[in-house]
Amino acid sequence: INLRPPRMVDGSLLRALISCSLVGATVGYSLGSMPGMARGTTTIGAAATSLASLQANSAAVSFKGAGLCKKLEVPSELLEQVDVFIFDCDGVIWKGDSLIERVPAVLEMLRKAGKKVFFVTNNSTKSRKGYLGKFKSLGLEDTQAEEIFSSSFAAAAYLEQTKFKETGKKVYIIGEVGIEEELDLIGVPWIGGGSDAGKKIELKSGYALPHDENVGAVVVGFDREINYHKIQYAQLCINENPGCEFIATNLDAVTHLTDAQEWAGNGAMAGAIKGCTGREPTLVGKPSPLMIDYMVDKFGIERGRICMVGDRLDTDILFGQNNGLLSCLTLSGVTTMEKLTSAENKIKPDFYVDSIADFL
């Protein structure tokens, strides 16, 4: 796998934007008055692009350049300028184990229109194989394994890219079966994970928790059975094993375990390790560019014809903006209209929708 390593998020990419306008028409700003904002118009193949799509793209750029958000009222405004749709899963395709309304019809329409569809999730609890099973169980039978990119896969891809296996060291996992299965597929030895669930430390005078000095990386993913033993073991590896790397699958603050409420996400697990080591993790999930770099290289797709569709401003939409993609926020997940339109929010999508059913 030929992947470039994760890069730090460049703060200069975030525009100083004003609060969103909810109107659905352009506001009279011209492309010529917005230096550097012509990304959307320079990547459209002239032979395949209609005048309508050029006008739609100009409208989207005008809105974004003016610091406004445009609600997608006419689906063709987006569909005509996009060849590849990348969907987040939690909050976009499903919530917990419940499929969001009309998702099957949307995916069927996009595939019939010749669009490529990929699914990129920061949830590391399942491997690509495990996620394929979830898609099938929800009735999305046309989904293929190669269309799915999870942060557990990204962690394994990063270790493979950096030739970790050649060091002869092993990985300590805070996380679930998804990371375990992906590391098994690339032949990287690991300890921890599910085998450390339920372990307790009996604190007494003179006791020191032993740890494996051959651990060369700690991978922290979402873990519903995290405990003090895992936290202490991870900090010992990072703080005491020379060169041990701290890798986080994602830093999401909250996640959807059920459709009834939000639950603490992997930001809590990674934050615990950051707190006791003083180390910043290498981030392999969104908004890191690792997964999009892999997709562009493997499938030969053009960034300017890709749209990232997600429910999180600080991961999905930032992922799109940092990597030269169009972006569409759906309000079916964690981001509310109030948050999107607040003066404090500086991350603005090209479009927003109530749910991806608005693509129909």
Residues tagged active-site: 83
Give the E-state strand segments of 221-359 in sequence order: 245-248, 254-255, 263-264, 282-283, 306-310, 326-330, 351-353
> 70 has which bridge partners?
351
Residue reference for tokens 């799509």:
53
Q: Closest Cα to residue 349, out of 322, 360, 357? A: 322
Q: What CA–CA distances, in Å, run from 169 to 21, 63, 166, 176, 273?
A: 53, 51, 8, 20, 20
Q: Closest Cα to residue 25, out of 77, 91, 81? A: 77
CA–CA separation, 143 and 145 (whole Å)? 7
DSSP string, 130-178: HHHHHHHHTT-TT--GGGEEEHHHHHHHHHHHTTGGGGT-EEEEES-HH
User: Residues in the chain, how many?
Assistant: 360
Strands 116-121 and 190-192, by their bridges, are unpaired
What would the 3-class secondary structure string for 24-63 be? CCCCCCCHHHCCCCCHHHHCCCCCCCCHHHHHHHHHHHHH
CB atoms inside a 10 Å sphere around CB 313:
20
CA–CA separation, 196 and 174 (whole Å)? 9
